[in-house]
Amino acid sequence: MRQKTITNKVEIVGIGLHKGVPVRMELEPLDINSGIVFYRSDLGVSIPLKPENVVDTTMATVLGMGEARVSTIEHLLSAIAAYGIDNLRISLDNEEVPIMDGSAIGYCMLLEEAGISVQNAHKKAIAIKKPIEIIEEKKFVRVEPSEKMIFDFSIDFNHPVIGNQQYKFIFSTKAYKEEIARARTFGFLHEVNYLRSKGLAKGGDLSNCIVLDESGILNKEGLRYKEEFVRHKILDAIGDMALLGMPLLGTYVSFAGSHKLNHLLTKQLLSDERAYEVIELEDKAGEESLDYAYETH
């Protein structure tokens, strides 16, 4: 299995979820072994996608280097990981990645518009050798050995629309687009009002977020999936685990996981050399383990 980048440069203009300001985002191909690199075009600062560059996980995953910040990266990274892209430059002229419709489907469409190119170098993956777990009260995130990439997530909210939800996702690009990509971010009305009082969530509205009051959802169109809430948590987890810098060959399990716990998990995993092995995916078994079914050029 070979590394991938995009074929053509593409760009969009959108709104950031928290600051609510316009941002121009441009995706550009990069050479082999370059990885995913964010570039603040307004500041002239590059920020490689690495766990040590994470500076905040309070409301989203945020990268930083010096005074430069890139926020709310998890939805875009989720789509990039789902399409098996290894090398890419993401240029932004402001702090936040555009929120699109609150899911990852818009990024999927953007990547398909750009096209995917196979490169002349083997793709590498992190194969989990032993379980690693982060626990915070009743919440936990864990990775376990597995021959496939699997995300098994559970949540439990004291709300009539959400309640207890569990979803197990066995990775493939096709399955991601059908089962995960359209799941939107969500928030509670009282939290939205509080965040706005703190200068956050300024770009959030019913077009890019599921908003819940005490008894139901305010979005007239309803839900896109029965378990849209837990599916979005999987979407986030895929994006957060992309901070590893290569695909995860293992099972991710979580109850009520968060950006914070995901970040701690990536740091703990990479700090324990006995917990993983970096392998080259060069045979049919590797292709079956990580099923990137999107047509390449």
Q: Which alpha helices (H) appear in the chain, and where do they start and end?
A: 74-82, 105-114, 173-179, 189-197, 228-241, 259-271, 284-289
Token pair of 189 as six digits? 């009305």
- Residue 150's alpha-carbon distances to 104, 134, 171, 270, in angstroms, are 18, 18, 6, 19
Catalytic member of 122, 159, 259, 297: 259
Secondary structure of 194-237 as H, E, C letters: HHHHCCCCCCCCCCCCEEECCCCECCCCCCCCCCHHHHHHHHHH
3-state SS assignment for residue 160 = coil
Report yes or no: 243 and 73 within 8 Å, Cβ to Cβ.
no
Residue 122 a catalytic site member: no
Token pair of 61 as six digits? 């995953």
Closest CA to 219 of 192, 200, 195: 192
How many CA atoms does the CB half-sphere of 165 hold within 13 Å?
21
The binding site for Zn(2+) comprises 75, 232, 236
Please tell me what DSSP assigns to residue 126. Answer: E
Instruction: Report d(CA 176, CA 288) in Å as an integer.
Output: 15
Active site residues per annotation: 259
